[in-house]
Amino acid sequence: MGKKKLSVIVSAIMSFILLMFLWAPNTSLNAKAKDVMTLNASSSIDTEVRAVWFSFRDWQKYLQGKDKDSFTKAFETITDNILGAGCNTLIMHVRSHNDAVYPSKIYPWSTEMLMGTDPGYDPLKIMVDIAHKKGLSIHAWINPYGFRNGEYCGDASLATHDNIVAGIDEILRNYKVDGIHFDDYFPVMDASVHNSLVADVYKTCHKYGKVFGISPTGNVDNNIAKGADIVTWMSVPGYIDYIAPQIYWTNMYSRDGSVTLFSNRLLQWITLNKLGLPMYVGLALYMAEVKPASDLGWSLSDANIMYQVMELRNNNQPGFILYSYNSLLSPACAAELNHLKGLYNTPPLYGFDTAGDKADDKEAAYENASDNTSDNTTGNNAVDNNATDNDADINATENSQSDNIYNAHIYTIAIDPGHQARGDYDKEPVGPGSSIMKTKVAGGTKGVSTGIPEYELTLDIALILRDELLLKGYNVVLVRESNDVNISNAERAQLANASGADIFIRLHADGSDNSSVTGATTLCQSPSNPYNADMYQSSRLLSECILSGYTQVTGIKSRGVSETDTMTGINWSRVPVTIIEMGFMTNASEDQKMNDDEFQKLMVEGLIYGIDMYFAQN
């Protein structure tokens, strides 16, 4: 039994015991598991934090200019909408521009949220009372310096260390908020200045038994450049109770969708989190409406957030924060939100390793990958976030998976190990009714280092994949179980069709005249395919999921999804279909990896992860 499989079994046995330990009372002020973002007194120990940011711009749209009664009714509707979206925690802007939404002896009434005048009632008290009555945790979100877009806002003279700390003491003394939350608007200062403030805010929060967390930009280098000392905060006790990095990119980042940037960023943060702090990752639900050209994933998929939450769970991260409340109501974000809500039917299964343990295990991989990373990103933030990013890949080498996301036994998977011992160079139609003829089965490539032919590699992977899928409860159909066969590409697709398969996965490996070329690709038909265009959307989704899961687990570079109408085995398929080119056998290193017994287990885990993602969405 491999180490990773044993780890999964140990995880299942130890999960409850570990969670009980993590949530046990602890009198230390160190940033340990007791100091998580508290939901409410009745929360069960395995509750996943599903939070929403409510920004000053949400205030302007939904709460500004109301009398007490209309404000109360509006906020009750807001809490109902948050609960209806499956969330349990509200991060509410209360100080954004060196001003406040509550009567303060330090700060004036908010110009952005309350038009700079006393509304005649206490908005924060109303919000806290209603949120707790409805069962929501509510955290006071503060821009400590009132700093944004390169300048101090409002009365800049109020942005002092003593005022900021005294203002937080004022909130905690007068309101039963569940914690204090800083965003990522840190003006450029020496790290020691920020650290002094952060440490004093931490002490103030703990004086009242409340938690304190920070949501920095997801770009590690940008934080460090501003003096936001995330390295210290996550490695030395006494600064923060949780971290909420804004990882606002998909795993199909860049204009060609080739960069797994969400996974790359997540690995960086896990690696830096030496204390094993609870990490509630900020997710950009609003991007489903923006659809930036620089991040193709938002245009190609409407399940990015769901995939990201699955990855957080697989890496034992206890929750997330969605930006923002307005996106919960946006029709453009509805599909993303619905896919995410479907995932709530499956409880999070946190494994044996804490985030800190995983950081130790992955540190070497991250440091090695960082050497090959160039980053020209402008800082993202929870309100504006118009960042662009030019990252090279940072390859994760391991991703533990949780089993049985849903009832797998209802699905049948057809697997085609590409090629065979002898090619068949007779011709067959490239698609049903086509006059275009193509070779029935080509010979395939061969390992430049191992000498192993592609048809042997694909069958080896197919047999392992079959056995693991059967253990998970799937039905599996193998197109071939030996190398000594003669089955054309059209016949392979027809076998998959006849089996009643829900998906058809064709396993291949790549070759190139350039021995330096590496990476994995998936292929599907185009939306204008003359034979099975009606299968395009499902096939495209399957290709995205398989490629994402495979590259995340193996660390093999993603070369993106390619659409083609020239593949006979795709054109004859009447079920969602993808070809995965698992790596380049003409690259010595990748050839050796793919033919290594232990690495093949990772390859299979990655394929299963992608299969699980696909069916979780459907």
CATH code of the domain containing 527: 3.40.630.40
> For position 143, what pLDDT does the model report?
96
- Phi, psi dihedral angles at 254 (to 5 degrees): 90, 170
**Structural domain includes residue 351:** yes
Q: What percent of the chain has pLDDT over 90?
A: 72
Give the pLDDT band of residue 347 (cuts 50, 70, 90).
low
Number of domains into which the chain is organized: 2
Lowest-confidence region among 276-290, 393-407, 460-474: 393-407
Same domain, 304 and 414: no
**Structural domain includes residue 387:** no
Same domain, 325 and 465: no
CB atoms within 10 A of CB 207: 12
Residue 119 pLDDT > 90: yes
Regarding beta strands 151-152 and 520-524, do their DSSP bridges make them parallel or antiparallel, or are they unpaired?
Answer: unpaired
Between 9 and 168, the higher pLDDT residue: 168
**Structural domain includes residue 400:** no
> For position 11, what pLDDT does the model report?
37
Same domain, 325 and 424: no
> For position 34, what pLDDT does the model report?
33
> For position 345, what pLDDT does the model report?
66
Mean pLDDT, residues 203-223:
96
CB atoms within 10 A of CB 485: 15
- Phi, psi dihedral angles at 460 (to 5 degrees): -55, -50
> For position 234, what pLDDT does the model report?
97
**Structural domain includes residue 394:** no
Which ranges of 534-575 would DSSP assign to H, the alpha helix?
Answer: 536-554, 568-571
Residue 154 pLDDT > 80: yes
Residue 398 pLDDT > 80: no
Same domain, 154 and 34: yes
**C-beta of residue 519 within 8 angstroms of C-beta of residue 556:** yes
Closest CA to 408 of 613, 575, 159: 613
d(CA 488, CA 438): 10
What is the Rg, in whole angstroms, of the alpha carbon atoms belonging to the chain?
Answer: 26
Same domain, 138 and 246: yes
d(CA 501, CA 402): 24
Residue 50 pLDDT > 70: yes
pTM score of the predicted model? 0.60
| 397-415: b (≥16 Cβ within 10 Å) or e | bbbbbbbebbebeebbbbb
Same domain, 574 and 437: yes
**Structural domain includes residue 179:** yes
For 43, which DSSP code? -
d(CA 532, CA 573): 7
**Structural domain includes residue 316:** yes
Mean pLDDT, residues 469-493:
92
Q: Which of 348, 370, 392 is the last residue of a domain?
A: 370
Beta bridge partners of 319: 49, 280
Same domain, 328 and 431: no
**C-beta of residue 379 within 8 angstroms of C-beta of residue 222:** yes
Same domain, 299 and 446: no
CATH number of the domain where residue 237 is located: 3.20.20.80
Same domain, 567 and 520: yes
> For position 410, what pLDDT does the model report?
77
Q: Which of 351, 370, 389 is the last residue of a domain?
A: 370
Same domain, 452 and 510: yes
Domain carrying residue 582: 408-617
Residue 322 pLDDT > 50: yes
Residue 464 CA, chain-centre distance (Å), reads: 27
Mean pLDDT, residues 499-506:
94
Residue 220 pLDDT > 80: yes
**Structural domain includes residue 203:** yes
d(CA 212, CA 243): 9
Same domain, 362 and 424: no
> How many Cα atoms within 13 Å fall on the side-chain side of residue 204?
23
Q: Which of 370, 396, 416 is the last residue of a domain?
A: 370
Regarding beta strands 151-152 and 137-142, do their DSSP bridges make them parallel or antiparallel, or are they unpaired?
Answer: unpaired
Total H helices, total E strands in the chain = 22, 18
Residue 491 CA, chain-centre distance (Å), reads: 38
Per-residue three-class SS string for 459-521: HHHHHHHHHHHHHHCCEEEECCCCCCCCCCHHHHHHHHHHCCCCEEEEEEEECCCCCCCCCEE
Same domain, 366 and 420: no
d(CA 322, CA 305): 9
Q: Collapsing DSSP states into helix, strand and coil, what is residue 263?
A: helix
pLDDT in tens, 222-265: 999 999 999 999 999 999 999 999 999 998 898 888 888 999 99
**C-beta of residue 455 within 8 angstroms of C-beta of residue 483:** yes
**Structural domain includes residue 395:** no
